[in-house]
Every structure is written in structure tokens, then in C-alpha cells.
Amino acid sequence: MELSAALIVRDAEAVLADCLRSIRDVVDEIVVVDTGSVDGSRRVARAFGARLFDLPWRDDFSAARNEALARATGRFILYIDADERLLPTSRATVASVLADPSAVCHTVLFRPQRGYTPYREHRIFRNDPRIRFEGVIHETMLGGIHRVAREDGLRIVPSPLGIEHVGYEGDQQGKHRRNLPLLRRRLADDPRHAFSWHHLGRALLGLGDREGAAEAWRHGIDVVRSRPDSTAADCLLYGSLLQLELDGAARTPGLLDEALDKFPGNHLLAWLRGRRLIADGRLEEAIAVFQGLAAIDGATFVDDAVAYDARIFGAWSRDALGLCCFRLGRFAESAAHYAAAEAAAPGVIEYRAKRHLAESRASAGP
């Protein structure tokens, strides 16, 4: 047996069938560990021929995921969640991916949210007892993957496969309330886990606590500052805090410059810099920033480690260019940029209104 899909599930009836439908023709077995569903999740799993196991929920994502890994019998494991879908592919493509004898792990193109660009995640890895998840939340098996790679002389290989996550759609307050105690427990055990500080801030913001979110992100930034090196994901802390401050009266002095110095290629930070330049009246400099972003095709862009809201390459940058040109009296250019923003986001009425205003100013002449 080549490939086992391993899932943990709880009350996922609404999304589980679409996930299993996306994988059933390209995996050799589906392992589902149910952690206490009271809906029809078990029935859906059985309908797709899954091997179904029960495990009481112990407020520990790693424990549940490792139970699924222990039950898998394939040579490789695809780790996927009920609110994710494997993008259309073929068994032949999957077989060609798994045929590489040098690979301990294959990354996939992972889109965390509709409207975002994908990045690479480690989702297919050898079925090896040395590879297990760690952490009650934000669980990761990367330590085991890298350990096996070192010990066995294997490597991590990118694949053409893709996974799309749909779980951020709809009301997220239930997830935020569930995750808060787990995040606080994780941070009590490991206060230097920067990504958990970021997630804590997102959960608090989602529950309406802006001050708590800002405080969490500042804690995470202090962790990043204390380390000799930064990871690409550390930029999320800076980006989230800077976005929170974007339309507020307060700015953390020097934070944007610090972030740009640490992450010079980050496109969200570039967009935030452009917004800051507009606020400071430096319109020509802002135009150069937004032109660079608008030149990127958000539909095809891929980063190895970071996902971006694709609007920063499309409607948001075009809207900003329209504003800059309007303030400079370049009304025809402004109208063209607003038209491009409108085309990228036809449901946003304000772009149409801005285009009409710029066109009227342009037709009025000097």
C-alpha cells in the first residue's frame, strides 16, 4: 500500500464528504480518527470506506493526529483535515510523486483561505514512527521529518499537488473560543513559540479584543527580537500589528522600518509601506511601491512560506494608485486605476463611485 490519508474529525459532517471525495481516487486507504462527533461524521466516513477509530478528545491535537498516524498502513501518509480539499489530480501523478526514492517528505501548494495565494506545506511524508506530531495546538511533525532526513540521507521535495482550506469561511467565534485555552496552554509550556502568539492575537481579535490582540502580537515580536534569526512566518506578527494600527491614531515608532529590515521581500509589508507613504503625503514614492505590487499576478504567485491576500496585488494596489493619482491631479490615470480595481473586485461599489468621480474630473479639464 502506497498512500494513506490520515484525518482527525469532530462534528465535521458539513465539510467531510467534500474532503473525502477529493482524495478517495488517489489514496489507498483513508484513516479517520473521530474525537467525539455527535453529528453524522462517522456515517460520512463509513460511506467513503474509511477505517474509522474513536479517540476521546484530550485538548491535544498532536495526540489525535498521532493516533491517526499509528493506524495508517501506507508507505506514505497524506495529512489533511476535513475542511480541506485535495485539488484535482490523478493517481498517476501521485504515483510519480511517491516514486522518488530520495524523498522523506513532499510539500504541496497549500491555499489557507479563498482569495489568498498558496505557499508550500509539508503534507505527504514517510510512514515512519520517528515522525510524530508535537504540541497541543499548532502541532508540527517537522522535527521528525528533518531528523529522518538527516539520519537516512533523504530530502524534502516539492510536488505539484495542491490543497485548499475552506475552514475560515463563516463564523469563526466557536473555533476562537475553543483555541484560546489551548493557545494559552501552549504558550505557558513554550512562551517562545512565536506563531502561537500570532494565533492568540488572531483569536482575540476575532472575539473583539483589539487591545488583547495587540498585546499578544507585541509579546510575539519581543520573542522574534530575542532570537538571532527570524523565520519567514515571523513576519505575520509584524504584519498583523501594523495592519491593526493602520487606521488608528497610534503607531508603534519604528516598527514598520524594523519589519522591512527583517523581511525585505515581504509583499504585505511593502503594501503597508505604501499606505504609510500615502498618509505622509509622499505620493510619488507610494506610486512606485503600488506599481511594483500591481505588476505581480496574484492568480499565479507562489511563496515558499507565506500566503498573501491576493488583493494586495490587485484591487487594493489599484485603489491606492487611483488615490495617489487623484491627489496629484492626474485624473485620467486615476480613473484607469479605479477601473482596474473595479474589474478585479466588481462587487465593491466604492471603486465604481471613485472611477466615476475621477472620470468627471478628467472630463472637466484643467
Q: Grid coordinates representing 315?
A: 484591487
* Parallel/antiparallel/unpaired status of strands 29-34 and 51-54: parallel
Give dist(CA 153, CA 130) in Å, integer: 14
If pLDDT is split at 50, 70 and 90, which confidence band does 169 have? low
Residues 142-167 have pLDDT tens digits of: 999 999 999 999 999 999 999 999 97
Is residue 270 one of the residues assigned to a domain? no
Domain boundary among 165, 190, 219: 165
**pLDDT tens sequence across 243-269:** 999 867 578 899 999 999 999 999 999
For residues 248 and 314, membership in a common domain is answered with no
pLDDT at 9 over 80: yes
| Average pLDDT value for residue range 197-206 | 94
> What gap in Å lies between CA 167 and CA 337, rounded to an integer?
33
Torsion of Cα atoms, 318 then 321 then 322 then 326, to 10°: 180
Q: How high is the pLDDT of residue 231?
A: 86
- Residue-level pLDDT at 246: 85
Q: Are residues 138 and 287 in the same domain?
A: no
pLDDT of residue 174: 79
Q: Answer whether residue 273 is part of any domain.
A: no
pLDDT value of position 229: 87
**Same domain for 94 and 130?**
yes
CA distances in angstroms from 3 to 44, 97, 159, 262, listed in the order given: 21, 11, 15, 39
**Mean pLDDT calculated for residue range 206-234:** 93
Find the distance separating the first CA and the last CA of the chain, reported in whole Å. 74
Strand bridging mode 155-165 / 84-86: antiparallel
CA torsion, ordered 340, 342, 346, 350, to nearest 10 deg: 160
Q: Could you tell me which of 267, 299, 298, 304 has the C-alpha nearest to residue 109?
A: 304
DSSP 112: -
- Residue 89 falls inside a structural domain: yes
**CATH classification at residue 295:** 1.25.40
Which residue in the block uniquely carries the three cell numbers 499548532? 138
115, 142: one domain: yes
Report the CATH number that the domain containing residue 96 is assigned in CATH. Answer: 3.90.550.10
Kindly indicate the confidence band of residue 94, based on its pLDDT and cuts at 50, 70 and 90.
Answer: very high
Range of the domain at 253: 171-264
**Is position 271 within any domain?**
no
Give yes or no: residues 58 and 160 share one domain: yes
> In the sheet that 51-54 helps form, which strands lie side by side, from edge to edge?
51-54, 29-34, 3-9, 76-79, 119-126, 103-111, 155-165, 84-86
Q: Is residue 298 part of a domain?
A: yes
Q: With pLDDT > 90 as the criterion, what percentage of the chain qualifies?
A: 87
- How confident is the model over 118-135, as a mean pLDDT? 97
Q: Which of 102, 132, 165 is the last residue of a domain?
A: 165
DSSP one-letter string for 237-262:
HHHHHHHHHHTSS---TTHHHHHHHH
Contacts of 31 (CB under 8 A, 6+ apart): 4, 5, 6, 7, 50, 51, 53, 68, 71, 72
Name which of 106, 101, 79 is nearest 153 in CA terms.
101
pLDDT band with cut points at 50, 70 and 90 for residue 187: very high
Say how many C-beta atoms besides its own lie within 10 A of residue 179's C-beta.
21
pLDDT-based confidence at 138, cuts 50/70/90?
confident
Each residue's pLDDT tens digit, 315-343: 999 999 999 999 999 999 999 999 999 99
Q: Are 80 and 20 in contact (CB under 8 A)?
A: no
Residues 116-139: b if buried by 16+ CB within 10 A, e if exposed:
bbbbbbbbbbbbbeebebebbbbb
d(CA 96, CA 99): 5
**Stretch 207-217: mean pLDDT:** 94
| pLDDT given at position 1 | 78
Q: Is residue 52 over pLDDT 80?
A: yes
CATH number at 223 reads: 1.25.40.10
Q: Tell me how many domains the chain contains.
A: 3
- For residues 22-27, give the mean pLDDT: 98
Quote the pLDDT of residue 335. Answer: 97
Same domain, yes or no, for 217 and 85? no
**Helical H runs in the chain?**
13-23, 41-47, 61-71, 91-98, 142-152, 173-189, 194-206, 210-226, 235-246, 255-262, 267-279, 283-294, 315-327, 331-344, 349-364
Band of the pLDDT at 310, cuts 50, 70, 90?
A: very high
Q: Assess if residue 210 is contained within a domain.
A: yes
Q: Give a yes or no: residue 39 inside a domain.
A: yes
Structure-model confidence comparison of residues 366 and 274, the more confident one: 274
pLDDT(37) > 80 = yes
170 pLDDT more than 70:
no
Are 273 and 256 a contacting pair, CB within 8 Å?
yes
Average pLDDT, the chain: 94
Task: Please say if the pLDDT value at position 101 is more than 70.
Answer: yes
Beta-bridge partners for 66: none
- pLDDT at res. 66: 98
Q: How do 119-126 and 103-111 pair as beta strands?
A: antiparallel
44-70: average pLDDT:
97
Alpha helices in 72-193 (DSSP H): 91-98, 142-152, 173-189
Choose the final residue of a domain: 107, 132, 165. 165
Question: What mean pLDDT comes out for the span 12-41?
Answer: 97
